Amino acid sequence: AQTVTQSQPEMSVQEAETVTLSCTYDTSESDYYLFWYKQPPSRQMILVIRQEAYKQQNATENRFSVNFQKAAKSFSLKISDSQLGDAAMYFCAYRSAVSEKLVFGKGTKLTVNP
């Protein structure tokens, strides 16, 4: 079974600075998808960024980018120019291309300090 590990329960960053959230996963599959989701206190799960395993190029969405290391099974999220609105729980998630099952990590709580 696939597992997703987020080793940082909490992180903090100063406004306008850069922060990196870590994620590792375990799988025997070669075709899969990886996601970072944001969950603000309102609890709505919001997709931040996604990466397809067959793509070597790291995904980027405005201030959010990932460092995808397939061999190391690592998928970190970098947030540049952090804003107060970035404060939330961030979840790394793995989706099997075969079973379509979406598995989440335990999350990292990000605090942005003004």
Partner 1 sequence: EAEVAQSPRYKITEKSQAVAFWCDPISGHATLYWYRQILGQGPELLVQFQDESVVDDSQLPKDRFSAERLKGVDSTLKIQPAELGDSAMYLCASSSRGRFSGGYTFGSGTRLTVV
Residues that bind partner 1 (CB under 8 A): 4, 33, 35, 42-47, 50, 91, 95, 97, 99-107
Report the C-alpha dihedral over residues 12, 14, 16, 22, rounded to 10 degrees: -20
- Minimum distance, C-beta of residue 40 to partner 1, in the bound complex (Å): 12
C-alpha distance from residue 47 to each of 36, 44, 64 (Å)? 6, 10, 11
Choice between 85 and 100, CB closer to partner 1: 100
Choice between 80 and 96, CB closer to partner 1: 96
Choice between 14 and 60, CB closer to partner 1: 60
Strand partners, 21: 77
